[in-house]
Amino acid sequence: MRKKLQTLREGAGYTQQTFSERLGVSRSHYAQIESGDKNPSLKLSLKIKQALGYPYDDLFFNPKRPISRH
């Protein structure tokens, strides 16, 4: 899942630093999102999708993490 994010970012010609600057977040915060340690807010996830030109909703889906049923 997060590998897809990295692949899309690199394919668009961004480093983590340049992409995080475009999004208006720190590189370390973005790196934690890309590694799966943090989940982006809805607002940030929409910014990421827009910046990458990614039209689908599965960008942040992680099949290895259980879905909370609470």
| Whole-structure pTM value | 0.81
Token representation of residue 32: 């934690």
**What pLDDT is recorded for position 20?**
98
**What pLDDT is recorded for position 59?**
81
Domains along the chain with CATH numbers: 3-52 (1.10.260.40)
Alpha-carbon gap, residue 9 to 15, rounded angstroms = 7
Count Cβ atoms within 10 A of the Cβ of residue 55 and give its class: 0-12 exposed, 13-18 middle, 19 or more buried: exposed
Model confidence over 17-27: pLDDT tens digits? 999 999 999 99
